[in-house]
Structure 1
Amino acid sequence: MLDSLTFLLKHKLFLLGDLHPHPPPPPPPQDPDPLRYRRGDLLEVHRTLFTHFGIYLGEGRVAHLIPDVLPLLRAPRRRVQCAVTNARLLLGVIAKQASVRVDSVEDFAYGARIVRNAMDGAVRGRALPAEEVAVRAERRVGGVCYSLLWNNCEHFVTHCRYGSAQSLQTQQFCDWLRSSLRDRRGMALLAVLCVTWLGVSCITPLPAVLLPFFLWMAS
């Protein structure tokens, strides 16, 4: 009888032990860059009318050139460091004031899908070593003069990654403008726009004729 009770007790303890499984193994170490971007990568996000570019620095940080009027107004540092709003961006374009700043990936993307290193092979020059690309971007952090066509965010990233500042968006715009100005209909449309904007007066024909001419000569 005693042996039977001992056997049942041991069997019960064995079953109770199964109710408490061994603790799960520790989770694998986290990737420091969960989005799998690499330091020195060229990131781009597509906006409604343009594409914005930046250089990934690691640890979720992106260096990018963006128009911003607040540094020109000597606003408090805390306000300048906040994410750039559309109003600040537009006023920065008008004032030709920008800054190379470091923001989080989320603030840089602004809700858009990020494309990685898509310009490799599409521009002149080969990509520099990743560390050199990141160091070049870090050295440029601070205020800069801005030009929509000649010194924008694309010029910044291509200078950092390929060693020479270039902009495919600027080239496409200039090609479109050149082809439009070579077309008489495009010049006539531009003249009509000038008349519409300035109104009809004795001086209206002068800019309506000279502006398309000088644009054509510049092209």
Structure 2
Amino acid sequence: MLVKPDFLSWTLQIMDFRKRGSSAKTQITDMNGNEPNPGDLIEIFRKGYKHWAVYVGEGYVVHFLGPEGSISSSSTINLPIGKNNVLKQKLLEVVSTDEWTINNLHDQEKQPRPPEVIVNEAHKLVGTTRSYNVVNYNCEHFATELRYGNAESEQVEEAVKVTLGVTGLSITVGVLIVAFLVWKTQRSSSN
């Protein structure tokens, strides 16, 4: 049986970790080499959207999934979603093979709540069910609400801007076509 070098390397790392004992701290860094602090927002780059979580320390995040777990990586699909959709999991399990970064996106204009408040509230919500709505209350709303005290989603805001832009352009083109047809009809009638 041929063993891939990646798997062999991973197995050796696990064995080395076990030799050192489970008390050894594994450093967790994002794609920029930064280590998260409790209360930080974690942005995970999925295919076609971003998933958000709140780092609560010791390698764990609290995050909010849709009722079917559909807004998740393959690593979280088999969780007991029917019982709850606010979960505490290892950050690296939630990230799976996707890239991620620390993104406290509103810190420039808003005062974040103290880390201990963010973490305590996040822990209180673990195992609860919240009403998920991709537009009105999604994983980003959940994470920003914990950090700043109010729910916002830049993904939704950007999608609305794009939709309004496309709709506005479509209406403008439609009006121009109708105006052209009316003008052409009037011109044909007067000849």
Q: Structure 1 length as normaliser, TM-score?
A: 0.56
* Higher share in helix: 1
Partner of 1:110: 96
CA–CA distance in 1 between the matches of 2:125 and 2:68? Answer: 18
* Mapped pair 1:57 → 2:56: yes
For the pair 1:40 / 2:33, whether they are aligned, the reply is no
**Does the 8 Å CA contact 1:181/1:187 hold for their aligned counterparts?**
no
How many angstroms apart in 2 are the aligned matches of 1:55 and 1:145? 18
Question: 1:67 is paired with a residue of what secondary structure?
Answer: coil
Q: 1:101 aligns with which of 87, 99, 103?
A: 87
Q: Distance between the aligned counterparts of 2:121 and 2:152, measured in 1?
A: 16
May I ask how many residue pairs the two structures share in their alignment?
A: 141
Letter in 1 for 2:59: G
Q: One-letter code of the match for 2:120?
A: V
Contiguous gaps of at least 5 residues in structure 1: 1-26, 71-81, 189-219
Identity of aligned residues (%): 23
Give the alignment partner of residue 161 of structure 2, picking from 165, 175, 186.
175
Match of 1:84 in 2: 76
Q: What is residue 132 of structure 1 aligned with on the other side?
A: 117
Tell me the CA shift for residue 163 of structure 1: 0.9
Q: If the length of structure 2 is used for normalisation, what is the TM-score?
A: 0.63
Q: Does 1:143 align with 2:135?
A: no
Q: Provide the C-alpha distance between the structure 1 equivalents of 2:25 and 2:117, rounded to a whole number of angstroms.
A: 20
Larger radius of gyration: 1
- Report the CA distance between 1:187 and its aligned residue: 8.6
AA aligned to 1:50 is Y
Question: Over the residues paired in the alignment, what is the CA RMSD in angstroms?
Answer: 3.1
Unaligned runs of 5+ in 2: 1-19, 29-34, 175-191
Displacement of 1:31 in angstroms is: 6.6
What SS does the aligned partner of 1:64 have?
strand
Secondary structure in structure 1 of the residue aligned to 2:85: strand
